[in-house]
Amino acid sequence: MEVAISRARAAGTFPAPNEPSAQQWVEIYRLMFLSRAIDDREILLKRQQKTFFQISAAGHEALQVGAALALKPGYDWFFPYYRDRALCLGLGVTPYDMMLQAVGAANDPASGGRQMPTHWSSRPLHIVSSSSSTATQLLHAVGCAEAGRYFSRHPEAAVKDPGDYREFHNVEFHGDEVVLATVGEGSTSQGEFWEALNTASNQKLPVIFMVEDNGYAISVPVEVNTPGGNISRLVANFPHFHFAEIDGNDPVASLRAFREAAAHCRAGRGPALVHGHCVRLYSHSLSDDDRLYRCAAEREADALCDPIARMRSRLIAEGILTAAEAAQLEHGLVHEAAEAAERALDAPLPTLESITAHVYSEDLDPTRAAFATEQPEFPAEEGGHRAAAHTMADLINSCLRDEMRHDERIVIYGEDVADASRKEALDEVKGKGGVFKLTAGLQTEFGAERVFNTPLAEANIVGRAVGYALRGMKPVVEIQFFDYIWPAMHQIHNELALLRWRSNGTWEAPAVVRVPIGGYLTGGAIYHSQSGESVFTHIPGLRVVFPSNALDANGLLRTAIRCDDPVLFLEHKRLYRETYGRALYPGPEFAIPFGRAKIVRPGSEITLVTYGALVPRALQAAQQAERLHAIDVEILDLRTLNPYDWDAIATSVRRTNRVIVAHEDMLSWGYGAEIAARIADELFDELDAPVRRIGAMDTFVAYQPKLEDAILPQPETILNAIVDLKRY
Ligand SMILES: Cc1ncc(C[n+]2csc(CCOP(=O)(O)OP(=O)(O)O)c2C)c(N)n1
Ligand SMILES: [Mg+2]
């Protein structure tokens, strides 16, 4: 990819004195004007139906150019939003790159024709791919800053290891880099804004938040979003912050404010928030018409604040340019934008074959044999005694411990996962280590920089993981209960799983999200019993794992951690300490590839496809079917739900000609619907009976055990289905 860093940027940073030289004034004006010229050209193209969407930076140019020139592209890190054209021009994105995205060209460097215009991304410049979701990027910026700090304190963690995901991630850090995250004033209403400020403040992270306050969020004026109408007043009490509230129509005020903010951050004193008041000169986007909701007088007043017109007058008044020189410069820039557009319109479009590229890592396939280090090395002895079988909880804990020893890039965090946040307590107490104790002892062994508690905010947990992972670290985070994953859903669906595809393979976030799931708890009730795995298997880019026993949990978690894709690792709470499925410790290298089902009971008459807590229940049912009805059932434990082992299902169904798909989650629109549909479609000729499904009733799980028993599938439910299906 071609990266043109503009002339003034070639030296790295914009020259330091607070008052720019004449040449610097002209450079600021050049960037501002060029940004507007590209916007205007794009609007023309959209009206000619040569492009498909347009959103402009008009009115924000001064604020953005000041920020760009105060920071160092390719050294600092940038999490912009869709209105940041002048910022990205100032960082070195070229007009041609922008036009390639506007037309959706194959070699649009930001997304290969996948994202709308102005959804920035450039790896060499450290501009991280942005989504359309407002404010999600702020948490990525926080995680990114945490990762930079971590590597500067643990430089040895940056070493590559050819055995896992680390082979494919170059780590870059300097120790004093800052992270810029930008946001509109309306989007400061998002919880993620406050969650980001919370952690940046608490951790004194070098993040500069730039609030671009144009007074409107589409049609909603600022006072509706922000009580009192001014975000600076609301955030003023966050500790460790440097705050600045500026006239965003003045590029020199902006440059000064961002230099001061960057100095505060680089010195390790904490984060900064620069609140710039600017104007939105055009409608929100070309799909909007602001005459529908703004008075004419207000729009005219904003037009008088146009930062480009003001800057032009200033240059002429100060004798830096004559009117003729300004006109000549502008003419050249309009021509530059037009020429970039013409070239982009001739660029090749993406091929249809390219659509499926970069959904998952193409470097490291977690189904491949390299992850089949099976043949566990069971020890004969442990701690001077004959080795004993361990629970699933124990073997997940030992996998986490072994992997943390093996890979210094792993950090573990979530709610209550630390042994004790107050370190002085650790001399006295045993430690918590998770509400289910899955992370017990890890903070004590690896320290509070690698194992720590977060604020009680699930989007914070997953959003930061995206930021950590895109810097090459391996966050292995915990959501305390599946029932509370929903605040993080936006981050999982629109960010974690999507980053690779939307950036056409330029960025990725291979984090692991561990989640206790499921019911059968006798009193777990509505909010501690939920299933819902099919909601996540419906997300391209996300691997979903659901082990049913201790050994599988250990081997699959190792693969989840070492692989290069984001993984949702579902752990059934009821199975954590069951007698069923205990196993000896399999050693620190035991791994199981994804996408390989296990035949937990061979049989010849009916195939029962299942996973999770239904595996032991299906086994009970199969034993009774054999004993009471002489029916021989084969049970397949899928172990991973995305990818899943279609070959194993097809092979078994071809032999038995009858199949049941059983899961704990609700029947309708559940995971089994997909498997059953595919069997009906591709194996129709093999079937002697309809495909049968088993799942929970289409309700939530009640507290009263009598109701819970009726709502969730029981061994008898499975047995009845087996007997019924054999009648065909
Ligand atoms: C999470 C989310 N909700 C809604 C939208 C639709 N949307 C796009 S931009 C926008 C307004 C944003 O206003 P503001 O943050 O002030 O930024 P501005 O566009 O004014 O620069 C809305 C509601 C979205 N993109 N993401
Ligand atoms: Mg706004």
CB of 194 closer than 8 Å to CB of 487: no
Phi, psi (rounded to 5 degrees) for 663: -150, 165
Which atom of ligand 1 sits closest to the CA of residue 183?
Answer: 15
pLDDT band (50, 70, 90) for residue 371: confident
> Which run of H or E residues covers position 78?
strand 77-79
Whether 559 lines ligand 1, by a CB cut-off of 6 Å, is no
Spatial CA neighbour of 594 closest among 636, 651, 544: 544
Q: Has 331 been annotated as catalytic? A: no
Q: Is the pLDDT of residue 17 over 70?
A: no
Helix (H/G/I), strand (E/B), else coil: 514: strand
Look up tokens 């509070």; give the residue: 448
Does residue 56's CB lie within 6 angstroms of at least one atom of ligand 1? no
Q: How confident is the model at residue 333 (pLDDT cuts 50, 70, 90)?
A: very high
Could you report the per-residue pLDDT of 637-646, keeping only the tens digit for each? Answer: 999 999 999 9
The pLDDT score that the predictor gives to residue 51 is 97
Please say if the pLDDT value at position 12 is more than 50: no
Q: Tell me, what's the pLDDT at 16?
A: 56
Using pLDDT thresholds of 50, 70 and 90, give the confidence band for residue 3. Answer: very low
> What's the pTM?
0.96
Name the residue of 115, 118, 134 to mutate for ligand 1: max ligand atoms within 8 A of Cβ: 134
Q: Is 133 in the pocket of ligand 1 (CB under 6 A)?
A: yes
- Alpha carbon 125 to its chain centroid, in Å, reads 20
Does residue 2 surpass a pLDDT of 60?
Answer: no
Lowest mean pLDDT among 5-9, 94-98, 195-199: 5-9
Residue 37 is encoded by which pair of tokens?
Answer: 């010229």
Q: Distance from the CA of 56 to the center of ligand 1, in angstroms?
A: 13
* Cα dihedral 24, 28, 34, 37 in deg (nearest 10): -140
**What residue owns the CA closest to ligand 1's atom 20?**
217
The rounded Å distance from CA 495 to ligand 2 centre is 22
What are the pLDDT digits (tens) for 265-323? 999 999 999 999 999 999 999 999 999 999 999 999 999 999 999 999 999 999 999 99
Span 517-523, average pLDDT: 97
CB-ligand 1 contact for 216 (6 Å cutoff): yes
pLDDT above 90 covers a percentage of the chain that reads 93
State residue 15's pLDDT score: 54
Cβ atoms of residues 608 and 662 within 8 Å: yes
Residue 375 has pLDDT above 80, yes or no: no
Measured CA distances, 42 to 83, 423, 680 (Å): 14, 56, 49
Q: What is the pLDDT of residue 611?
A: 98
The response to whether residue 624 sits with its C-beta less than 6 Å from ligand 1 reads: no
Q: How far is CA 174 from CA 147, 151, 307, in A?
A: 11, 9, 35
Confidence at residue 18, expressed as pLDDT on a 0 to 100 scale:
61
Mean pLDDT along residues 135-141: 98
| C-alpha–C-alpha distance, residues 532 and 523, integer Å | 19
Task: Report residue 697: phi and psi, to 5°.
Answer: -60, 155
- Indicate whether residue 195 lines ligand 1 (CB < 6 A): no
Average pLDDT over residues 603-608: 98
Percent of the chain with pLDDT over 70: 97
Q: Over 60: is that where the pLDDT of 378 sits? A: yes
How far, in Å, is the centroid of ligand 1 from the Cα of 114? Answer: 20
pLDDT at position 386 is 86
Nearest to 696 by CA among 671, 719, 675: 671
Phi, psi of 409 (to 5 degrees): -85, -5
Which pLDDT does position 9 carry in this prediction? Answer: 45
**What phi and psi values does residue 494 have, to the nearest 5 degrees?**
-90, -10
Strand partners, 637: 598, 610
Interval 453-463 mean pLDDT: 98
- Of 284, 528, 572, 663, the active-site residue reads 528
Angle between helices 22-47 and 251-266 (to 10 degrees): 110
pLDDT of residue 379: 79
